[in-house]
Amino acid sequence: MSTAKCYHNTVLLNEAIESLNIKKNGIYIDCTLGGGGHSKLILKKIGKYGRLIALDKDKETIKYAKKIFFDSRMSIERLSFSNLKRYCIKKKLLGKIDGILIDLGISNFQIKNPKRGFSYKINGPLDMRIDNSFGITASEWIQKSRKQEISKVLKKFGNKKFSKKIALEICKFRKKKKISYTSQLYEIMQKVIGFRKKNFFALYFQAIRIFINQEILEIKKILLDVYSILKINGRFVVISFHSLEDRIIKKFIQKYSSIPEIPQNFPVTEKILLKKYKKSILFKKGKKTFPSSKEIINNPSCKSAILRYAEKIL
């Protein structure tokens, strides 16, 4: 086995692997291979008969991974994690997985690649597709969408404050010239936001990326499938970077790991409710984890990261 040094600062690396509670001969799925940091540590933890399946829908990531990972225990697949259940059915792995790890961030390699269009700091084609082999680019969407739709996306996945004004400026700009590059979108936003509030640029670029890649729908799909994919005592671990993502994960875990709250003076005991709802409690909730201050200093982009996990118990 041989691996090259990862090009990506893996967020919550040790915390994520600890949360998986790795068994030597277990089967684990890294749903977002990225720079390979999580996969590399999983391979160190599993034994001779353990197995790791690493997924990513970015063809450049897969191409890179196949050059640096040489381990018979590892399979590398180009696949969106929203299609994981179908993959497990095909491979006869449904209900046999010991752990699933999902890191919802994008790698530094993707951010710093000017051809991808993810960063307002680097000029390049305004693409933003994680899988750039299909689907519309951010440029195409911005060119054809109505002002109200653009504003809605910026507000829902970014921030309400400047969403309407930015949408208006986009519509004005595109009448004169096609918006094809990140520098053009940055220029439009700068006109509305100004120079000082740099965090807003990142928020709005992220908002467009989330929409273009339908990231929220993908999260909802995998959450609906994790129960059938995992074996008893198997765990799923999710690292999110956006409040909307985290809210969806939090609500899902709460819904399937606890009984409904009992109103004060309600004439039914918790014991009776527990008996009634026992079959609907599918997971045991794990603790929420944030990056340490040291990690944030070394990698400021991880500041918004939140790790949540749960264990299948039924």
pLDDT of residue 83: 97
CATH number for the domain harbouring residue 179: 1.10.150
pLDDT of residue 301: 86
- Taking only the tens place, the pLDDT of each residue in 40-73 is 999 999 999 999 999 999 999 999 999 999 999 9
E strands in 220-282: 230-240
Task: Kindly tell me if the per-residue pLDDT of 309 is higher than 60.
Answer: yes
- Taking only the tens place, the pLDDT of each residue in 70-93 is 999 999 999 999 999 999 999 999
CA–CA dist 102, 219 (Å, integer): 9
Cα separation values, 47 from 22, 28, 51, 94, 114, Å: 10, 12, 8, 21, 39
CATH number for the domain harbouring residue 77: 3.40.50.150
Task: Kindly tell me if the per-residue pLDDT of 205 is higher than 70.
Answer: yes
Q: Are residues 228 and 204 in the same domain?
A: no
Task: Kindly tell me if the per-residue pLDDT of 5 is higher than 60.
Answer: no
Mean pLDDT of 260-275: 56
Q: Is residue 41 part of a domain?
A: yes
Task: Kindly tell me if the per-residue pLDDT of 271 is higher than 70.
Answer: no
Q: Is residue 174 part of a domain?
A: yes
Question: What is the domain range of residue 169?
Answer: 132-212
- Taking only the tens place, the pLDDT of each residue in 141-175 is 999 999 999 999 999 999 999 999 999 999 999 99
- Number of separate domains in the chain: 2
Q: Are residues 202 and 224 in the same domain?
A: no
pLDDT of residue 3: 40
- Taking only the tens place, the pLDDT of each residue in 124-149 is 999 999 999 999 999 999 999 999 99
Q: Are residues 22 and 137 in the same domain?
A: no
User: Which residue from 100, 314, 76, 103 is spatially nearest to 226, judged by alpha carbons?
Assistant: 100
How does DSSP assign 179-220, residue by residue? Answer: --BHHHHHHHHHHHH-SS-HHHHHHHHHHHHHHHTTHHHHHH
Cα separation values, 237 from 49, 65, 100, 150, 266, Å: 22, 22, 6, 32, 35
Task: Kindly tell me if the per-residue pLDDT of 251 is higher than 50.
Answer: yes
CA–CA dist 149, 138 (Å, integer): 13
Share of the chain above pLDDT 70, in %: 90
